[in-house]
Amino acid sequence: MKLQSQATRGATFALAAMLAQMAAAQYPAYGPGAYSPAQRPQAPAQQPYPQPYYQQQATQPPAYPQVNYGPAPRVAYAAQNADLPTPQEQVPQPARPVNPAPAPAMGQQPGQPMPAPQGGYNSYPSAEAYSHPAAYSGSPAQGDCNCNQGAADWSGYTGAPAAGCTTGCSGYAGYPDSGCCDYGAGCYTPTPRRQWFVGAYGLLLQRSNIGDTKVATYVPNTPAAYPYYPNDSVTYLSSNAANPGIQGGGEIRFGSTFGCASACDCSGTRPFAWELGYWGIADQTETALMTDNFGGTTRMYGNINYAGIEYDRDGTGGANYAYRPVNHYYDYQMPIEDAMPYQPGVNDIRVLANRVRQSFNAQNVELNFWRFGTPSSAGCSPSAGYGACTAVSDCGGYDGCAPMSCNTCAPKRRFVCNGLLGVRYLKLDESFQNAVMFTVDDGAGGVMPAPVGTNPTAYVGGFPPDDNVLLHDIEVDNNMVGFQLGCSMNWMCGCHWSVFADTNFGVYNNHIEAYQRVYTDGGGMVRFVGTGGDAAVRSDKDQVAFLGELRTGVAYQLSCRWRATAAYRLIAVSGIATAQNQVPSNWMNHRHVGYIDSTDSLFLQGLQLGAECKF
C-alpha cells in the first residue's frame, strides 16, 4: 500500500492528541513512561476493500521516518454517546476498468506494514481485462480430446465453446476437432493424415483337385477273349497328364485411408481404408501325347464316345470321301470287339497319335473396404500408434524397439485385427482338347492312297492342318461376381518380424459360358447325324458359387515404410465348371451336348512373395 499523504497523517495525529486529552479527564493519569515515542498510534480497524490490479511498485515495505512526540497532555473530556466516524482512505482507480479475482478478507494489524502484492501481477497486462480459467480437471471430459494430459474445462476462457473442444468441423480458434480428423484446442494428437499404401507380389500357384478324364487306351498284346476290357496294367492317356502345373502370376494392391476418427482417438489413424486389388495367373498350356507305330502289334483305342456325329474328310458330301462316324477316326471301342485288332483290313482306320492339351488362367479384380480394429502405424507423428515415425526413431517401436518412439496414449499392441467388406470379380478361363491323327489301312500292309492328298504312315511330330487330323475343343469361362467378408490379423513377434493371416469368404453368382466343337483344319466337315448341323455347341448358365481365400506367412519390416512378405496362398472355389468335365456322354443332339456340369471345385495354392509400402 502507498503511504498516506502528509495532510491526512497530520489530521490523524491531531485527532489522536485530542482523544488522549479526553481520556485523561476520565481515566487516571499515567506517567511519562507509559507511552513510548517510538510507538505508532493504533489505527482503527477498517472494513476490507477489494485490492486493485496494478503493477507492483516495490517488493519490500518502505521505510517510514520516525517521529518523536512529547508527553501527551492530560485533558479531561466528557464521555461520548456515539462512535466517531471511521476515517476512510481514498484509493485511486485504475485508468481502465478491471475484472479482478476475489481476494481473501484481511484486516490490518497494528504495528505491521501492509503486505506486498503476491501472485505475479506483472504477468497480466495492466490495461487489458483477463478472466481466470476454471479449475483444471485431471480426467478427460466428455467430448474433449486431450487424452494425453487430461481434459480442461474450456468454458471459462474468453470466447471458448461451452461444450469443450469437440464442436464439429468448425472447431475452436480455427482448429477442427478430432471428430473431423484433426485436433481441437488442448489436443496433442496430430492430424490423422490420409495414408496411401501399395503392394506388389509375385505368385507361384498350382491348380489342384480337378477331375481326370481317360481319353485313350494303349493295348500292347492280343486279348485272350472278346469283348475285351482293358485292365489296370495297360497304358492310359488322361487329361491330368496335361495339367498345367505350377503357373506364374502377379498381384498389385493399392489404396488409402479415409474417414474421421472418433473424439479422443489418439491412434493418429483414420479408421477406414479403401483398397483396389488385381491379381492374375498367366495363361499356360500343357500337352500330353501318346503315339503308335503303323503295322505293329500294338493299337490305341479311344475312350470318349462321339456317337451322333460324322465326318466327311474333304467336305464335298461324298464326292471323294463318304461320311463316316467320328468314332471310327478316334477308334472308339469300349469294350473292344475287334476279333483281329492287329490284322490289316481294307479302309481300317488306325490312330497314329492321340494328343491331350489343357490351358488355364485366372484374372481377379476386387474392391475392398477396411475397418481398422486396433491402432496401427499411420505416418510420422508422435501419436500415430505403435510403430509410427517419430523424432526418436523413424520406425517407432518396429525399428530397434525404440522405447520412446510411441506416445503413451497409443496402446502398444502386438496383435492387430482389421475387418474387410468388398466386392470381387473372378474369371477362370480353361480349355481342353482331345486331338487325333489317323491313317487308313489298305489291307495289304500299307496305307490307302488318298483321293486328295496322302495318308501318313507314321507320326512325325506335330498335328498338321490337314484332313487326317480331328480336334475336339472345349472352352469354359467361369465369371464370378459377389460380395466377400474377411479379416486381416497381424502379430508382432519381434522388432522387425511379424506373422500374419488374411482370410475372406464370399458368395458369388457364377455366370458360366461353355463352347465345344469337333472340327478339322483340313477342309472337312463334322456334323450332327440327326440334324445335319455343325458339331459346335455354345451354352451358358448361372450358378451359385462359393469362394474362400487364405494368406498366411511372415513379414519383415525393412524400414518405416517398407516391409517384405512371404506367404502361403490358398484359393478354394466350388460351384464351377471345369473343361475336362464337360465331355458329353454322347453327341446325340445340341441340347445334350450343351448341358453344363457346374458341380466341380478346385484349389489354387502356392507361394506369394512381395513388398509393401505406405506413404
Q: How far apart are CA 348 and CA 454, in angstroms?
A: 15
pLDDT of 461 reads: 86
Are 90 and 50 in contact by the 8 Å Cβ rule? The answer is: no
Which residue carries 496414449 as its cell? 409
Among the listed residues 603, 549, 608, the one whose alpha carbon sits nearest the alpha carbon of residue 578: 603
Sign of CA dihedral 578, 583, 587, 588: negative
pLDDT of 412 reads: 52
Cα dihedral 98/104/108/114 (nearest 10) = -60
What's the predicted TM-score (pTM) here? 0.64
8-state DSSP, 598: -
Among the listed residues 130, 393, 439, the one whose alpha carbon sits nearest the alpha carbon of residue 292: 439
Q: How far apart are CA 584 and CA 560, in angstroms?
A: 58
pLDDT of 609 reads: 97
Asked if pLDDT for residue 38 goes beyond 50, the answer is no
Query: What is each CA distance from 167 to 264, 270, 395, in whole angstroms?
Result: 13, 19, 33
Asked if pLDDT for residue 305 goes beyond 90, the answer is yes
Among the listed residues 351, 319, 355, the one whose alpha carbon sits nearest the alpha carbon of residue 332: 351
Higher per-residue confidence, 335 vs 485:
485
Asked if pLDDT for residue 551 goes beyond 60, the answer is yes
Contacts of residue 27, defined as CB under 8 A and 6 or more positions apart, other chains included, come to none
Are 305 and 327 in contact by the 8 Å Cβ rule? The answer is: yes
pLDDT of 93 reads: 55
Which residue carries 495414408 as its cell? 195
Are 390 and 380 in contact by the 8 Å Cβ rule? The answer is: yes
| CA atoms within 13 Å, Cβ hemisphere of 495 | 11
In this structure, what C-alpha cell is assigned to residue 37?
Answer: 515515542
Residues of the chain with CATH 2.40.128: 196-263+272-291+342-373+413-614
> What average pLDDT score do residues 419-440 get?
95
Percentage of the chain beyond pLDDT 70 is 56
What residue ranges in 246-345 does DSSP mark as E strands? 246-258, 272-291, 299-302, 309-312, 324-325
pLDDT of 15 reads: 65
Q: How far apart are CA 30 and CA 521, in angstroms?
A: 151
pLDDT of 85 reads: 52
Which residue carries 483398397 as its cell? 275
8-state DSSP, 591: H
> What average pLDDT score do residues 194-223 get?
86
Model pLDDT for residues 367-425, shown as the tens digit of each residue: 999 988 754 443 333 333 344 444 444 333 433 344 434 344 344 568 889 999 999 99
> What average pLDDT score do residues 241-256 get?
93
pLDDT of 595 reads: 95
- Give alpha helix (H) positions in 438-595: 590-594
Query: What is each CA distance from 118 to 9, 53, 121, in whole angstroms?
Result: 27, 11, 7
pLDDT of 411 reads: 42
Are 61 and 114 in contact by the 8 Å Cβ rule? The answer is: yes
Mean pLDDT of the chain: 72
pLDDT classification of 558: cutoffs 50, 70, 90: very high
Model pLDDT for residues 497-541, shown as the tens digit of each residue: 999 999 999 999 999 999 999 999 888 899 999 999 999 999 999
pLDDT of 341 reads: 60
pLDDT of 234 reads: 78
Q: How far apart are CA 552 and CA 328, in angstroms?
A: 52
DSSP of 421-445, one letter per residue? EEEEEEEEEEEEEEEEEEEEEESSS
pLDDT of 259 reads: 82
pLDDT of 206 reads: 94
pLDDT classification of 590: cutoffs 50, 70, 90: very high
Name the CATH topology of 196-263+272-291+342-373+413-614: Lipocalin (2.40.128)
> What average pLDDT score do residues 92-106 get?
49
Asked if pLDDT for residue 102 goes beyond 70, the answer is no
pLDDT classification of 134: cutoffs 50, 70, 90: very low
- The mean-pLDDT minimum among 48-52, 190-194, 303-307, 544-548 falls in 48-52
